Amino acid sequence: MLTLAQAQTIMTTALAHAQSAGFKPLTIAILDARGAQKLFTAQDGTSLKRGEIAIGKAHGAVAMGIGSRALHKMALERPYFVEAATHAVGGSLVPVPGGVLIRDAAGTLLGAIGVSGDTSDNDEAAALAGITAAGLVGDTGA
């Protein structure tokens, strides 16, 4: 199970990465392996439902067991499947990069982080910076 201490390290580092890289305001959601929210931050200036996009990246990854970059590829190749999966999992699945699975060194799934606010590639980079800082392994689906 992802601990709060691990999640805090991930969150703090992801935000620091974004700041030093000059990203736009981000929302970041960290879910545990149950899909339950562990930690969430919306920086000042984010739009009304930006948080739901971040949560959807993380939830889609945990729900399907793959990073959202792989869901992005599936959405391009088989849009009908990703649309159907979105409905089937309850509506929260955003198939663009920035939803990264969090695993421990042994490969056990601990949860996922979803980042939204800058480009998808930058969102994903912030996520990975956080995961690495916690000594964990990010799985983007690439």
What is the DSSP secondary structure assignment for residue 97, as one 8-state letter?
S
Q: Which is nearer to a second copy, 89 or 133 (CB)?
A: 89
| C-alpha to C-alpha distance for 125 and 91, rounded to whole angstroms | 25
| Residue 4 beta carbon to a second copy: minimum distance, rounded to whole angstroms | 5
Q: Which is nearer to a second copy, 80 or 106 (CB)?
A: 80
Residue with tokens 């439902």: 49
Q: Which residues bind a second copy (CB under 8 A)?
A: 1, 3-4, 32-44, 46-53, 55-56, 60, 62-66, 72, 75-76, 78-96
| Residue 87 beta carbon to a second copy: minimum distance, rounded to whole angstroms | 4
Torsion-angle region of residue 73: left (phi > 0), alpha (psi -120 to 50) or beta? Answer: alpha
| Residue 56 beta carbon to a second copy: minimum distance, rounded to whole angstroms | 4
User: How many angstroms separate the most distant Cα atoms in the chain?
Assistant: 39
